Amino acid sequence: MHTPTTVHPAAVDPEVPGGVYLCQVNGQVSCGACCGLYNVADPSREGLQRQLERRTRAFGALPRTVAAMDGFARATAAGECQERPFPDFHHCPFIGLIGPDRSRVGCLLHPLGEGNAGIDLRGLSDYGGLACRTYFCPATHQLPGRHKQVLRLIFEDWHLYGMVVTEAQLVGAMFHWIERRLGYPLEPPLVTAHPQAPARLRDLLALKRQWPFRPPDHDTPCHYFFTDPPHVRPPIDYRRLGAAPSPLDVMLRELVSHFGTQTDLQRAEQLLENRLVAAAHAMTQPLKH
């Protein structure tokens, strides 16, 4: 996990693949998805907060030795539920809460972490130090810069941000739909000029966390997003439903959807379209001077 010396105040960073830094945004917003943060039995905001708080307290009391770190990893595994939505996707025991107020997720092994005295301990993680220093998720490459900047801008908390920011196909489809509706690009100044826009965009993207049409065997907001994924999002069988392919198919598929009837499909389309329209509408309101 990448943690800069200071959280980047600007969205554009020429040293980052794709030009926009997504891992650590501000004091409350960051992403730990590549470390398997959400690959747990209870990925709720409350469940993860409790888990990360316990880890952070326990880690803070440790001497910074290899034996202590290995013991911490074993104790964490023994004390936490090991059921994983994706058993072949790692969940790092060294994800914790960082920052002066411990208000965002980050790597407890990072050299800038509290108590680490500048020593890079990330080589003790499952992926190893090189991967932690050099890996960037596909969203950094696949999403256009303006969309990544909007994502950095609108979130107020790490939990939903980390679930969404790695969803390159879903975010891209949603934001391109809005752009077609507006007739112009979705840019950060457009969002900041309209006070309701951030909230409406968050409402739209929150469907990732609360999508009611996920099948029982995929009832998790966690997803496998590496560039060689063995887990393919299942297609929607429109023929079985007696329906034409949905114009929102990419979004429905990326949200992982199963529909028992054509009525279920129509309900899902309506829910999704209502939030898309609301987000676009928020950016067409007259500006108050």
Model confidence pLDDT, tens digit, residues 105-137: 999 999 988 999 898 898 888 777 777 777 788
pLDDT at 85: 87
Model confidence pLDDT, tens digit, residues 42-52: 999 999 999 99
254, part of any domain: yes
pLDDT at 162: 96
The domain total for the chain is 1
**Number of residues assigned to the chain:** 289
Q: Which of 149-153, 166-170, 261-265, 285-289 has the lowest mean pLDDT?
A: 285-289
Q: What are the start-end ranges of the H helices in 97-167? A: 129-134, 138-142, 145-154, 158-165
Torsion of CA 192, 196, 202, 207, to 10 degrees: -150
159, part of any domain: no
Return the HEC string of 73-107. HHHHHHHCCCCCCCCCCCCCCCEEEECCCCCEEEE
Cβ atoms of residues 269 and 213 within 8 Å: no
DSSP for 21-78 reads --SB-SSS-B--GGGTTT-SS--SHHHHHHHHHHHHHHHHTS-SSHHHHHHHHHHHHH
Residue 2 CA to residue 124 CA, distance in Å, equals 15
Residue 149 CA to residue 186 CA, distance in Å, equals 10
pTM of the predicted model, to two decimals?
Answer: 0.90
Cβ atoms of residues 11 and 189 within 8 Å: no
Range of the domain at 207: 144-154+167-282
CA–centroid distance for 209 within its chain: 10
Q: Is the pLDDT of residue 165 over 80?
A: yes
113, part of any domain: no
259, part of any domain: yes
Q: Would residue 115 be called left, alpha or beta, if left means φ above 0 and alpha means ψ between -120 and 50 degrees?
A: left
Residue 170 CA to residue 186 CA, distance in Å, equals 15
Residue closest to 203 by CA, chosen among 281, 105, 285: 281
